[in-house]
Amino acid sequence: MADLPRVTDLELEGALRSLGSRYPYPPTPNLTMPVRTRIVAQVPPVPRRTLWGDPRRLALAAALLLALVGAAALAIPGARNAIAHFFHVQGVIVNRVPSPLPSSSPVTSLDLGRRTTMEDAQSSVKFAIAVPSGLGPPDAVYVAGGGIPGGEVALAYQPRPGIPLVRQTGLGVLITEFRGDLIPEFLTKELGPGTTLTETRVNGDPAWWIAGEPHAIIVQVGGNDQSETLRLAANTLVWEHKGVTYRIESALSQTEAQRIASGLP
């Protein structure tokens, strides 16, 4: 079989052009607009994503709103009082009072309970008594009576160099410990206009630092006020750790009080 003659690309292109003139191609309509119109008609419109339609943006907006509301509330004394009551340390409630508290309260008896040894105190309460490493063993140990759930212990330290006398207690430092998880409204602290309330932390746990003018303490057990324990208190650092509430009362600064507290749980 004879080989077919080879045709170059240029010769093939010329032949096709010659055939094109003999056999004209029918006119081609503009299909762009009809096709586009059909596509738009068949595809449902995509809804616009608004702030409220996106769960992640909704959560972010809610968080920002809460932050703004919280910041504004803390600037208002009445709202700050409510927040302090809601976010109180277990066993302690903080309230604001509009009128100044009495400037002095003579100390006749702190009513700390029965004076005892550390060993006896440990056997009388349902938690591990913590002694601050920065102060060492207390000068006196007391166990409160009155059927307090879980018990309450008080560690008393006499004034010493660097630890001034507290007129309200007659001591240098007074540390109390009790099961705040068992008695959520055990202590109520009444703060007058001259007393400041600062949120802080002790070893990572939320805490309150109360300073300035002395504040009032009211002890409640079983819903009944023990009026004999109502007294004025000096600067106080209070916090809770694993169900136990700790309270340090002194004439020290916040930095010094927190240094003592760092030696406790």
φ, ψ of residue 169 in degrees (nearest 5) = -115, -20
Q: What is the pLDDT of residues 140-173, one digit of tens each?
A: 999 987 778 999 999 999 999 999 999 888 999 9
Q: Residue 250, exposed/middle/buried by CB under 10 A (0-12, 13-18, 19+)?
A: buried
Q: What mean pLDDT do residues 48-74 have?
A: 40
- Top mean pLDDT of 29-33, 171-175, 223-227 is at 171-175
Beta-carbon count within 10 A of 166 CB = 21
Q: What percent of the chain has pLDDT over 70?
A: 58
The backbone torsions φ and ψ at residue 23, rounded to the nearest 5 degrees and listed phi first, read -125, 85
Q: If DSSP codes are grouped into helix, strand and coil, which group holds residue 5?
A: coil
190-214: average pLDDT: 91
The closest alpha carbon to 156, from 189, 132, 191, belongs to 132
Contact 196, 212 (CB under 8 A): yes
Could you tell me which of 139, 170, 136, 143 has the C-alpha nearest to residue 156?
139
Question: Of 83 and 144, which is predicted with more confidence?
Answer: 144
Can you tell me the mean pLDDT for 71-90?
47
State how far the alpha carbon of 132 is from the alpha carbons of 9, 109, 196, 206, 240, in Å. Answer: 99, 24, 25, 18, 15
- Residue 32 vs residues 43, 248, 257: alpha-carbon distances, Å: 17, 83, 80
Nearest to 217 by CA among 204, 226, 208: 226
Q: What CA–CA distance (Å, rounded) separates 111 from 135?
A: 23
Contact residues for 46 (Cβ-Cβ < 8 A; gap 6+): none
- Spatial strand order of the sheet with 152-157 comes to 114-116, 140-143, 152-157, 173-179, 244-250, 235-241, 205-212, 195-202
Confidence of residue 12 (pLDDT cuts 50, 70, 90): low
Helix (H) or strand (E) holding 258: helix 254-261
The whole-number pLDDT of residue 80 equals 42
Query: Mean of the per-residue pLDDT values for the chain?
Result: 74
- The structure tokens listed for 106 are 């003579």
Q: What is the mean pLDDT of residues 53-78?
A: 40
Are the CB atoms for 153 and 145 separated by under 8 Å?
A: no
Question: CA separation (Å) from 41 to 28, 30, 44, 141, 214?
Answer: 24, 19, 7, 86, 77
For the four alpha carbons of 115, 118, 119 and 122, in that order, the dihedral sign comes to positive
Whole-model pTM: value is 0.64
| 3-state secondary structure (DSSP) of residue 67 | helix
Q: What's the pLDDT at 232? A: 77
What are the structure tokens assigned to 58, written together?
């909704």
